[in-house]
Amino acid sequence: MKTMHLYLLTGLVVFATISCSNSSARNNENNNSKNSVNMKFEKVALPYETDALEPVISKQTVELHYGIHHQAYVDNLNKLVVGTKLEDADLVTVVKESDGAIFNNAGQILNHNLYFTSFKKGGGGEPTGQLGDAINEQFGSFEKFKEEFNAAGVSVFGSGWVWLAKDDNGKLSIEKESGGGNPVTKGLTPILGFDVWEHSYYLDYQNRRAEHLKEIWKIVDWETVGQRY
């Protein structure tokens, strides 16, 4: 009987040790995914060449938008969070729990990381699978959804975003956000967001936001976007 207790006890100690080391490994991974050196926020890697989205979005716009604007949000946030309670938080938590300059820059990092991974060379067409079905069911058809989405994007006053988002039950909605807003602040999951800040289209379309919104569907990577549903 005593021997058996000893076995059990040894087993528990071994189990507890493994659990602890696993959990510490997980924490390290989380930290590494933010940054391997100083736990800084980073922008997503561009999954295509800077000229891959032409003629819908020019190489010059991608270079400026991804290379300069997006980088600035990252650099700003990494300076702003130092010494705050959100310094070690993940990006979505920062967006949900901040305001002012930290919120603006964190929101824009989240927004642009989603945005730049929503496109591909030769994209377009229509979503298939569960997202395609949900869009048809909830908006009538893909064409009707696009119409409603573009109308929302055109009507955002000044700089902002238009999003397709889902709630916990998979219900889809079109969300207008001003500035660096993201539907996560409403408890929703962002699926697809079009940037309607002028920096995203002015070089290619000047003030013609509606035309840009009409064209941008031609480069959507529905495979990647569909996985967010």
Query: CB under 8 Å to 79, separation ≥6 — which residues?
Result: none
Query: CB under 8 Å to 214, separation ≥6 — which residues?
Result: 150
Cβ closest to Mn ion, residue 98 vs residue 113: 113
Which residue's Cβ lies closest to Mn ion? Answer: 195
- Give the integer Cα–Cα distance in Å for 222 and 126: 7
Q: Are 172 and 206 in contact (CB under 8 A)?
A: no
In whole angstroms, the minimum distance from the beta carbon of 72 to Mn ion comes to 10
Cβ closest to Mn ion, residue 62 vs residue 225: 62
SS3 labels along 128-174: CHHHHHHHHHHHCCHHHHHHHHHHHHHHCCCCEEEEEEECCCCCEEE
Cβ closest to Mn ion, residue 195 vs residue 221: 195
In whole angstroms, the minimum distance from the beta carbon of 79 to Mn ion comes to 19
Q: Which amino acid is at 119?
A: F
- Interface residues toward Mn ion, by CB under 5 A: 195, 197, 200
In whole angstroms, the minimum distance from the beta carbon of 195 to Mn ion comes to 4
DSSP character at residue 125: S
In whole angstroms, the minimum distance from the beta carbon of 59 to Mn ion comes to 16
Task: Tell the burial category of 213 from Cβ atoms under 10 Å away from its Cβ (0-12, 13-18, 19+).
Answer: buried
Q: Compute the C-alpha angle 196/69/167, nearest 5°.
A: 50
SS3 labels along 29-64: HHHHHHCCCCCCCCCCCCCCCCCCCCCCCCHHHHHH
In whole angstroms, the minimum distance from the beta carbon of 129 to Mn ion comes to 28
Cβ closest to Mn ion, residue 177 vs residue 195: 195
Cβ closest to Mn ion, residue 66 vs residue 142: 66
Cβ closest to Mn ion, residue 61 vs residue 134: 61
- Give the integer Cα–Cα distance in Å for 224 and 222: 5
Cβ closest to Mn ion, residue 57 vs residue 86: 57
In whole angstroms, the minimum distance from the beta carbon of 229 to Mn ion comes to 23
In whole angstroms, the minimum distance from the beta carbon of 69 to Mn ion comes to 5
| CA R_g for the chain | 22
